[in-house]
């Protein structure tokens, strides 16, 4: 596979750069303005391939137009480019489009046309264009979700080598890391120019597109000698000394801008020449990261439980199994229950554990002012049809990335998601979860920041919502609960005693990327929507019909979708923990899918709750006297079939009696 790389056709002063997007399947290209500003644009490989096909099919109109003339190429593109996005781009960003198309043809036919200046000339013979179409087609095929040969399917773990807030210190460390034992090799390929600083002659070394990277002096220099115009030009300590020559590293680095000594050039050089490393900038910190390939292994809940313990988090093993099985069954899980019981921490722990890096997840606190979808999906700028305003939450970019990287799981954690009415800001998601349709975002083909007209919610995107109940929050409608698995967090007296007896500080870093090698297996399990392996199928069906009949009396009965998802949940529970009994799996199913929809007045609920409690125990127990009126009843006793559900039903019954109303969600 000829992997697309344009760097050899560019240098530090190139105004029109282009590179393969990290998200795959797209080319990001730029236009540098006269005042140093830079605009970026994104087009798919398929769009560029269509442009080349249009040129080939209309060759007589394009031949003779090899030299760049803006009006000619703007008019040709507007007339012949059939891809709507490319057509819009060629009319407003004519030269960046021309330059990128030229680079694609040069790349596909290398080294035949390597001497061509792509900013001024494009090769238009039919043979070269056809070769470019063929190469782009082959490259594009590697990004299809079903491709077994995808070059982006490697699972890597990121290990931090070095980080620094100073770009100059970071640049020096990066070069020292890679060339500490081979400075002589680097110096042997530099371009050397005589120069002067403070009347001291020295040799200035240019390396690749890094201008004046190293200064070579014939004797040791002081800081004052290396300073001009009140600016220190080189680090005071030499990076290399040989045969009486002293080599000093430049301090003239810039984090932003179109400069030769810039972070963008630093990133390009080292990632191109050392593909096992990444250079990142986030929140003003520059990082050098080593990528270590991780072998893919089968997903294992015990490994996650072990990592939780090492980090200082203690959860009931059954709870984590329920959480993971719920995610595998349906990629929408609601965590409710006692405030401070670890709902958000469990979600955060899992995404840190299984993801390669934090670009695969967003943790977003829901605001009480979320009245529409804009905080999640952004909105088109009515005053500028070429701009789509992305949300600050980062969720839109995450969803687009998830669609472009189907081999990696991605997660959205909506913290306190019921601070606003979920049905208002989350309606689009609730709809497409079932319909599998696309969410329309805008109707303008000229949007320039890579936002598609319609958004796909991919199968590798998982949404976790955490819920607290108090006077500031809102209740969920059946429409929401019907589409989720709802898991309640409670803390028993024994669990609190164990916590107090072994309190230790949390170390979430011990979770980071520890489960990355299981990500592919996790995604594969999530695609399994079968009901295989269920024991006592007839007995399970009979129990569900009993619950259906009783819930129908309150209008809380379930439909076909919920019935299917309950059986799939049982299957996933069996896959993750085959030691769970059929009754325990049924108990979890009732607790997470049936009881959450129950709410109402005492008169409406109490008779139904009493009957449901009877389904949870063996015969011979008096529900009112032995359970509801007995504060010391043992919910884990031998006569109890469904302990989780029975305990919840009992609490709901008492709330209905005491308050005149009850619901599944409790403060």
Q: Are 70 and 188 within one domain?
A: no
Peptide bond into 111 cis (omega under 30): yes
Span 599-614, pLDDT tens digits: 889 999 999 999 999 9
Establish if 261 belongs to a structural domain: yes
SS3 336: strand
Full 3-state SS string of 467-490:
CCCCCCCCCCCHHHHCCCEEEEEC
The domain boundary, picked from 480, 502, 527, lies at 527
Establish if 38 belongs to a structural domain: yes
Element (H, E) at 645: helix 643-659
Q: Are 258 and 339 within one domain?
A: no
Query: Higher model confidence: residue 401 or residue 532?
Result: 401
Establish if 241 belongs to a structural domain: yes
Give the pLDDT mean for 485-501.
89
How far, in Å, CA of 355 to CA of 517, rounded?
A: 9
Are the C-beta atoms of residues 262 and 254 closer than 8 Å to each other?
yes
What pLDDT does residue 478 have? Answer: 79
Evaluate if residue 145 carries a pLDDT over 90: no
Are the C-beta atoms of residues 596 and 480 closer than 8 Å to each other?
no
- Most confidently modeled range among 247-261, 330-344, 541-555: 330-344
What pLDDT does residue 487 have? Answer: 95
Establish if 148 belongs to a structural domain: no
Establish if 537 belongs to a structural domain: no
Q: Are 108 and 208 within one domain?
A: no
Q: Are 442 and 310 within one domain?
A: yes
Tell me the two tokens of residue 201. 């002659």
Establish if 609 belongs to a structural domain: no
Point out the least confidently predicted range of 217-221, 415-419, 448-452, 634-638.
448-452
Cβ-Cβ contacts under 8 Å for 630 (sequence gap 6 or more): none
Span 249-304, pLDDT tens digits: 999 998 776 678 989 889 989 999 998 899 988 878 899 999 877 778 889 999 99
Q: Are 350 and 224 within one domain?
A: no
Tell me the two tokens of residue 345. 């921490």
Span 67-76, pLDDT tens digits: 999 999 999 9
Evaluate if residue 23 carries a pLDDT over 60: no
Cβ-Cβ contacts under 8 Å for 20 (sequence gap 6 or more): 3, 4, 5, 26, 27, 28
What pLDDT does residue 143 have? Answer: 62
Cα end-to-end distance, the chain, whole Å: 58
Residue-wise burial string across 364-382, b where 16 or more C-beta atoms lie within 10 A, e elsewhere: bebeeebeebebbbbebee
User: What is the phi-psi region of residue 601: left when phi exceeds 0, alpha when psi lies from -120 to 50, beta otherwise?
Assistant: beta
Q: Where are the alpha helices (DSSP H) in 145-300?
A: 167-179, 183-187, 263-273
Give the pLDDT mean for 472-481.
82
What pLDDT does residue 75 have? Answer: 92
What pLDDT does residue 146 have? Answer: 43
Give the distance from CA 68 to its chain's centroid: 40
Q: What is the DSSP letter of 359?
A: G
Q: Are 139 and 224 within one domain?
A: no
Give the distance from CA 259 to its chain's centroid: 30
Q: What is the overall mean pLDDT for the chain?
A: 87
From residue 485, give the alpha-carbon distance in Å to each of 389, 488, 511, 569, 667. 32, 10, 25, 9, 19
What secondary structure does DSSP assign to 27-71, as a single string? EEEEEE-TTS-EEEEEEEHHHHHHHHHHHHHTHHHHTT--B--HH
Establish if 406 belongs to a structural domain: yes
User: What is the phi-psi region of residue 419: left when phi exceeds 0, alpha when psi lies from -120 to 50, beta otherwise?
Assistant: alpha
Give the pLDDT mean for 130-149.
70
Q: Are 449 and 383 within one domain?
A: yes
Nearest alpha-carbon partner for 612 in 636, 585, 641: 641
Give the number of other Cβ atoms within 10 Å of residue 505's Cβ: 6
Q: Are 235 and 87 within one domain?
A: no
Q: The domain that contains 470 carries what CATH number?
A: 3.40.50.300
Q: What is the CA radius of gyration of the chain?
A: 31
Most distant CA atoms of the chain, gap in Å: 103
Evaluate if residue 391 carries a pLDDT over 80: yes
Give the pLDDT mean for 331-359.
93
What pLDDT does residue 17 have? Answer: 65
Structure pTM? Answer: 0.66
Point out the least confidently predicted range of 303-307, 484-488, 521-525, 539-543.
539-543
What pLDDT does residue 554 have? Answer: 80
What pLDDT does residue 142 have? Answer: 64
Give the pLDDT mean for 167-180.
94
Give CA torsion, residues 342, 346, 347, 350, to 10 deg.
170
What pLDDT does residue 297 have? Answer: 86
Residue whose pair of structure tokens reads 């399917």 in the numeric block: 153
Query: Higher model confidence: residue 567 or residue 149?
Result: 567
Give the number of other Cβ atoms within 10 Å of residue 667's Cβ: 10
Evaluate if residue 461 carries a pLDDT over 90: yes
What pLDDT does residue 472 have? Answer: 77
Give the number of other Cβ atoms within 10 Å of residue 351's Cβ: 23
Residue-wise burial string across 572-604, b where 16 or more C-beta atoms lie within 10 A, e elsewhere: bbbbbbeebebbbbbbbbbbbbbbbbbbbebeb
Give the pLDDT mean for 520-530.
90
How far, in Å, CA of 105 to CA of 95, rounded?
A: 15
Q: Are 320 and 454 within one domain?
A: yes
Q: Are 109 and 197 within one domain?
A: no
Q: Which domain holds residue 443?
A: 301-527
The domain boundary, picked from 235, 259, 290, lies at 290
Span 222-253, pLDDT tens digits: 999 999 999 999 999 999 999 999 999 999 99
Residue whose pair of structure tokens reads 């990290």 in the numeric block: 22
Evaluate if residue 463 carries a pLDDT over 50: yes
Which long-range contacts does 280-284 make (Cβ < 8 Å, 24+ apart)? 281/255, 284/165
Evaluate if residue 646 carries a pLDDT over 90: yes
Percent of the chain with pLDDT over 70: 91
Are the C-beta atoms of residues 328 and 526 closer than 8 Å to each other?
yes
Q: Are 66 and 101 within one domain?
A: yes
Nearest alpha-carbon partner for 572 in 326, 316, 351: 326
Number of independent structural domains in the chain: 3
Query: Higher model confidence: residue 155 or residue 566?
Result: 566
Evaluate if residue 151 carries a pLDDT over 70: no
Evaluate if residue 642 carries a pLDDT over 70: yes
What pLDDT does residue 235 have? Answer: 96
Give the pLDDT mean for 209-221.
95
How far, in Å, CA of 574 to CA of 340, rounded?
A: 30
Nearest alpha-carbon partner for 61 in 73, 50, 46: 73
Tell me the two tokens of residue 269. 């050089």
Establish if 468 belongs to a structural domain: yes
Point out the least confidently predicted range of 2-16, 389-403, 563-577, 651-665.
2-16
What pLDDT does residue 172 have? Answer: 95
| pLDDT confidence band for 532 (50 / 70 / 90) | low
How far, in Å, CA of 378 to CA of 195, rounded?
A: 52
Question: 388-389 and 332-337 as β-strands: parallel, antiparallel, unpaired?
Answer: unpaired
The domain boundary, picked from 258, 290, 322, lies at 290
Q: Are 498 and 362 within one domain?
A: yes
Evaluate if residue 153 carries a pLDDT over 50: no
What pLDDT does residue 526 have? Answer: 94
How far, in Å, CA of 250 to CA of 235, rounded?
A: 6
Are the C-beta atoms of residues 498 and 314 closer than 8 Å to each other?
yes
């Amino acid at each position: 596979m000829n992997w697309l790389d344009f760097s050899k056709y560019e240098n530090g002063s190139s105004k029109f750069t282009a590179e393969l997007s990290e998200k795959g399947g797209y080319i990001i290209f730029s236009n540098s303005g006269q005042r140093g500003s830079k605009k970026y644009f994104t087009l798919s490989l398929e769009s560029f391939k269509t442009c080349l096909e249009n040129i080939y099919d209309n060759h007589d109109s394009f031949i003779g137009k090899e030299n760049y003339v803006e009006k000619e190429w703007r008019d040709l593109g507007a007339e012949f480019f059939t891809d709507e996005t490319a057509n819009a781009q060629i009319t407003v960003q004519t030269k960046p489009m021309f330059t990128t198309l030229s680079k694609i043809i040069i790349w596909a036919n290398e080294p035949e046309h390597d001497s061509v200046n792509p900013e001024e000339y494009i090769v238009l013979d039919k043979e070269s264009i056809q070769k470019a179409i063929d190469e782009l087609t082959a490259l594009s095929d590697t990004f299809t979700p079903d491709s077994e040969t995808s070059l982006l399917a490697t699972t890597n773990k990121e290990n931090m080598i070095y980080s620094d807030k100073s770009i100059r210190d970071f640049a020096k460390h990066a070069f020292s890391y890679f060339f500490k034992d081979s400075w002589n090799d680097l110096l042997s390929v530099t371009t050397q120019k005589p120069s002067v600083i403070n009347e001291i002659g020295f040799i200035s070394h240019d390396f690749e597109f890094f201008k004046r990277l190293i200064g070579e002096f014939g004797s040791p220099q002081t800081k004052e000698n290396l300073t001009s115009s009140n600016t220190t030009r080189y680090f005071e300590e030499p990076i290399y000394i040989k045969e009486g020559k002293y080599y000093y590293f430049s301090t003239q680095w810039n984090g932003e801008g179109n400069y030769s000594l810039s972070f963008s050039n630093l990133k390009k050089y080292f990632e191109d020449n050392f593909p096992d490393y990444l250079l990142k900038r986030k929140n003003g910190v520059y990082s050098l990261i080593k990528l270590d390939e991780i072998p893919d292994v089968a997903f294992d809940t015990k490994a996650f439980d072990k990592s939780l313990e090492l980090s200082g988090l203690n959860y009931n093993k059954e709870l984590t199994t329920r959480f993971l099985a719920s995610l595998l069954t349906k990629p929408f899980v609601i965590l409710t229950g006692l405030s401070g019981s670890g709902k958000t921490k469990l979600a955060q722990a899992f995404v840190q554990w299984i993801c390669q890096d934090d670009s695969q997840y967003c943790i977003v606190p829901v605001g009480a002012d979320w009245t529409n979808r804009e905080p999640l999906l952004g909105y088109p700028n009515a005053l500028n049809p070429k701009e789509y305003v992305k949300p600050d939450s980062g969720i839109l970019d995450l969803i687009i990335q998830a669609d472009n990287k189907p081999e990696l799981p991605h997660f959205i954690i909506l913290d306190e998601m019921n601070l606003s009415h979920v049905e208002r800001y989350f309606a689009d998601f609730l709809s497409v979860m079932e319909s599998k349709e696309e969410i329309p975002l805008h109707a303008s083909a000229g949007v320039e920041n890579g936002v598609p007209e319609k958004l796909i919610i991919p199968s590798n995107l998982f949404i976790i919502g955490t819920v607290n109940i108090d006077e500031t929050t809102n209740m969920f409608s059946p429409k929401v609960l019907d589409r989720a698995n709802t898991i309640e967090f409670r803390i028993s007296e024994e669990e609190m005693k164990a916590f107090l007896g072994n309190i230790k500080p949390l170390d979430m870093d011990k979770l980071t990327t520890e489960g990355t090698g299981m990500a592919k297996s996790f995604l594969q399990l999530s695609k399994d929507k079968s009901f295989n392996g269920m024991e006592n199928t007839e007995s399970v069906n009979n129990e569900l019909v009993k619950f259906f009949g009783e819930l129908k009396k309150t209008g809380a009965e379930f439909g076909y979708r919920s019935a299917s998802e309950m059986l799939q949940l049982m299957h996933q529970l069996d896959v993750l923990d085959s030691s769970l009994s059929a009754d325990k799996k049924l108990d979890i199913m009732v607790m997470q899918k049936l009881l959450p929809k129950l709410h109402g007045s005492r008169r409406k609920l109490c008779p139904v709750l009493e009957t449901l409690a009877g389904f949870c125990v063996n015969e011979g127990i008096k529900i009112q006297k032995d359970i509801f009126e007995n504060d010391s009843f043992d919910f884990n006793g031998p006569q109890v079939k469904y302990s989780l559900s029975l305990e919840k039903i009992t609490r709901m019954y008492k709330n209905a009696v005491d308050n005149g109303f009850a619901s599944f969600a409790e403060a």
